[in-house]
Amino acid sequence: MIYFLIILAGFLLWFLWYLFRDNRKYFKRTAARITGIETHIVKQKNGASIEQFIIQSSLGFRFIGYMKIPENNKGKLPVMLLLAGLFTGKDVVDLVEDMPGIEPVIILSIDYPYDGEKRIKWWQLLIALPKIRRAAMNCVRGLFMVLDMLEKREDVDPERIYLTGVSFGSFFGVAAAACDSRIKSVASLFGGGKIEKLAATNLPFKIPVFNNFVGRLAKTIMYPLEPMHYIQYIAPRPLLVVGGESDELFPRECATALYDKAGEPKDLVWFQSDHPDPTNNELIQELTKEVIIWMKNRGLLKEV
C-alpha cells in the first residue's frame, strides 16, 4: 500500500509540474541545434525561385520547408513565415503571389514533422495524439532553427520576420512567437485558442458530457501548445486574428477568446467563409492579400 501511495504522490507532483510549468522556458531549455542544412532549387517561376531546405536537428528529427525568393533583388528582404496545412509546404509557397505596390517578400512555408496519416477517424486521432503531440512540439523547436537559419542568410532582413499561422498552424506559430522575439508580428487565420472547445466541437457525437471529457483529455495531452498560455506574450508586437463566420472546425469562441486575451496592438477580422482548404487557390490568395494589407497598414511592409 505504501508503495502505491508513493507512486500516486509522485504522479500527482509530476502532473502539477506539467500543468503549471513555464512552457516558454521549457521550449527554450529543450530547443534543438542545427547539425546540418541542405538546400536546392526545386522550381523557378514568374521571377522567383522556390528553394527547398532540409534542416537536420540535434534531437534527431528533420525539418523540411520551402522558400519563395524574388529574383534580381539586392539587399535584405522581409520574410513571411507561413504555417498552413499538413503536407502543403511547397504548394502553399507556390500559391502566394506578389502584391503590386508592395515591396518584395520572401515567403517561407514548412512541412510539419509528422509522418502519420492525414485523414483519420476521431478514435484513431485519440490513439495518434501522442505522436501528433511529439510532432507539434518539434514543430515549435523547428521554427527556432528556421530563425537561426534565416539570421545567417544575406538576403534576409532579420529584423523583419513575420509569422502567419493558418488553422492548426496558429498553435505552433503563437507558441514560437511567444518564446522568440525574433518574430516581429503574428497573424492567426482561422485558428484560435481553447483546445478543449475545438476538440469537443469536432466530435461526431451530441453527448455533452462525453464531448467535454474528450475535449479536456485532448487539452491535457496538448497542454504545452494551448495558444491561450502564450497569446499575451505577443504584445507589444502587432497581432492579427482572422476568423470565419461559418467556420465549423474552429468555433467562433476559439478566435474571440484568443483575441480578447491578447494585448495591444491587435486587430480582429471576420471572413464570410467556412474553414479554408489549403488547396483553395482563390481563398489562400485572398487571405494572403488581407495579411499583407494589414502588414502595410501596421508599417511592417513598405509601399514601392
Give the pLDDT confidence of 179-217 residue by residue, as tens digits: 999 999 999 998 888 888 888 887 777 788 888 888 888
162 strand-pairing partners:
80, 185
- Bond prior to 276 in cis (omega within 30° of 0): no
Q: What angle do CA 34, 36, 40 make, to 5 degrees?
A: 120
Q: What distance in Å separates the CA atoms of residue 265 and residue 263, rounded to the nearest whole number?
A: 6
How confident is residue 85, by pLDDT bands cut at 50, 70 and 90? low
Edge to edge, the sheet with strand 48-57 lists: 34-45, 48-57, 62-70, 106-111, 77-83, 156-166, 183-189, 239-244, 266-271
Question: What value, to the nearest 5°, has the Cα angle with vertex 53 and ends 134 and 108?
Answer: 80
Higher pLDDT, 301 or 12: 301
Confidence at residue 275, expressed as pLDDT on a 0 to 100 scale: 79
| Per-residue pLDDT reduced to its tens digit, 246-261 | 888 888 889 999 999 9
How far, rounded to the nearest angstrom, does the alpha carbon of residue 234 sit from its chain's CA centroid? Answer: 14
116 band by pLDDT with thresholds 50, 70 and 90? low
- SS3 call for 287: helix
> Does the pLDDT at position 146 exceed 90?
yes
Does residue 41 sit in helix, strand or coil? strand
30 three-class SS: coil
Mean pLDDT score of the chain: 84
Q: How many angstroms from the chain centroid is the CA of residue 15? A: 26
Confidence of residue 87 (pLDDT cuts 50, 70, 90): very low
pLDDT of residue 235 exceeding 90: yes
- Distance (Å, rounded) from C-alpha 20 to C-alpha 62? 30
Query: Residue 86 has what DSSP assignment?
Result: T
Residue 9 confidence (pLDDT) above 80: no
% of the chain residues with pLDDT over 70: 86
